[in-house]
Structure 1
Amino acid sequence: MDEFDPAPTTDTARNRWQTGADTFSRIYDVVLGTTSLTNYTELASLADCSPNAAKKHLDRLVDMGIVRRDDESRPMRYKRNEGYLEWQDASRIATELTVDEIIDRVAALEARRAEYEREFETTDPASVSVFDHDEHAAVHERMAAISDWQGVIRDIRLYELARQLSQNDGHLIPA
């Protein structure tokens, strides 16, 4: 394999997993990388384990709330639970920042959101067409702005959740 070859050989991929990661850890890592429903046999292949082992660990991750399962599909399909990832992010923010720092960050984010709302004359970034311009550069700028605006909205949600966690000793509501 060339030093810069983007596709590793199967042996290289297998060696990566043989450095001590157990089957559960491999399944966990693989499924957190999925953004769409994926057949459990495909996830097993990516994690270098048997389909039965993958399904067992995926079902455990479903029980833990880390993974979502499509109960209607055959064979079963799974994907990461975005809510779990948001909870992790908010918990990290709550431990790294003070309540005052979180409140300041939310205020700055809300100001940015208001700027986007004024610029695009709407409160919903999904309602903005990025193709209202003929120039590629203008379309690209609008796409970047809409993406950033959506990120700002997500961050406001995360920092608000982090504020609640910080103010309530790790709980969403006061005990």
Structure 2
Amino acid sequence: MSETDAADGPPPFVDAFRSGDVEQRIYGTILQTRDPTAASAIADSVDCDPKTARKYLSWFDDLGIVTRHDSHPVTYERNDAYFEWRRINQLVADHSVEDLQDGVRELTTRITDYEATYDAASPAAVNAITAAEGSDERTIDDVYSDLGDWATAREERDRYKRARQQRTGDEREQGFE
């Protein structure tokens, strides 16, 4: 790969939000933050003034995107419930009740297949090492990949169910039963 190709490609992951404005960079940092973090640390990571970071973090707190913790110093963390709510609302907006039901069926089939393959009710009940050692077909990487996909399918099925319930309630309220 030539230097030109590298320059034309996407930014490196650690600098994925470097080219955006300060608000986008702070938002991107919040998306990647798993622990309560001080505004000054966020400001350092996005290369902005701490006052600016606090301004945007306060605004994100008002929107529910982050949770503010009144510790010393004040810290902020990503509000996973906001992103869950947002995903469900997007499903409601993008899909009909029938589409959502089809999604529930497809995900249930995938989950049932994993339950049968691993003879377990959930990914947490599977010992990946034992499952890989007891299989001629699956490597440890395959098993971990399956377990991750299985857990994701369970979470996504729950979102589809909640979106379907929300959509069905909306249609009942509007007289579309």
Q: Same fold by TM (over 0.5)?
A: yes
Decide which of 87, 103, 106 is 1:105's aligned counterpart: 103
Supply the distance in 2 between the matched residues of 1:113 and 1:35 (Cα, whole angstroms).
Answer: 28
For structure 2, list consecutive stretches of 5 or more residues without a partner in the other structure: none
Matched residue SS, 1:150: helix
The separation in 2 between residues aligned to 1:153 and 1:121, in whole angstroms, is 16
Give how far 1:50 is off.
1.4
1:140 maps to: 141
- Call closer, same or farther: CA 1:129–1:77 in 2, change over 3 Å: farther
Aligned residue type for 1:98:
S
Name the CA shift for 1:7/1:119 in 2 (closer, same or farther; >3 Å).
Answer: closer
Distance 1:115 1:57, change over 3 A: same
What is the deviation of 1:25? 4.3
Distance 1:29 1:140 in 2: 29
Shift of 1:128: 1.6
Find the aligned partners of 1:146 and 1:139 in 2 and give their Cα distance: 10
Aligned to 1:81: 79
TM-score normalised over the length of structure 1: 0.75
Q: 1:141 aligns to what SS in structure 2?
A: helix
Aligned to 2:118: 120
Deviation, structure 1 residue 36 = 3.3
Query: SS of the residue aligned with 2:34?
Result: coil
**SS of corresponding position for 2:139:** helix
Q: Which amino acid aligns with 1:145?
A: D
| Pairwise CA distance, 1:45 | 2.3
Instruction: Report the identity percentage.
Output: 27
Alpha-carbon spacing, 1:70–1:129, altered in 2? closer, same or farther (3 Å): farther
The answer on 1:130 being equivalent to 2:128 is yes
2:93 matched to which residue of 1? 95
Deviation at 1:7, TM superposition (A): 5.7
- The one-letter code matched in structure 2 to 1:92 is Q
Name 1:161's counterpart in structure 2: 162
Partner of residue 64, structure 1: 63
Give the letter for the 1:158 counterpart.
R
1: distance between equivalents of 2:97 and 2:167? 6
TM-score with structure 2 setting the length: 0.75
Cα offsets for 1:47-82 (capped at 9, x unmatched): 33211221232133223221123444x333322212
Between Structure 1 and Structure 2, the one with more helix by share is: 2
In structure 2, C-alpha distance between the alignment counterparts of 1:80 and 1:68, rounded to whole Å = 6
Question: Which amino acid in the other structure matches residue 88 of structure 2?
Answer: A
C-alpha distance in 1 between matches for 2:143 and 2:53:
42
> Could you say if the C-alpha distance between residues 37 and 93 of structure 1 is closer, same or farther in structure 2, counting changes exceeding 3 Å?
same
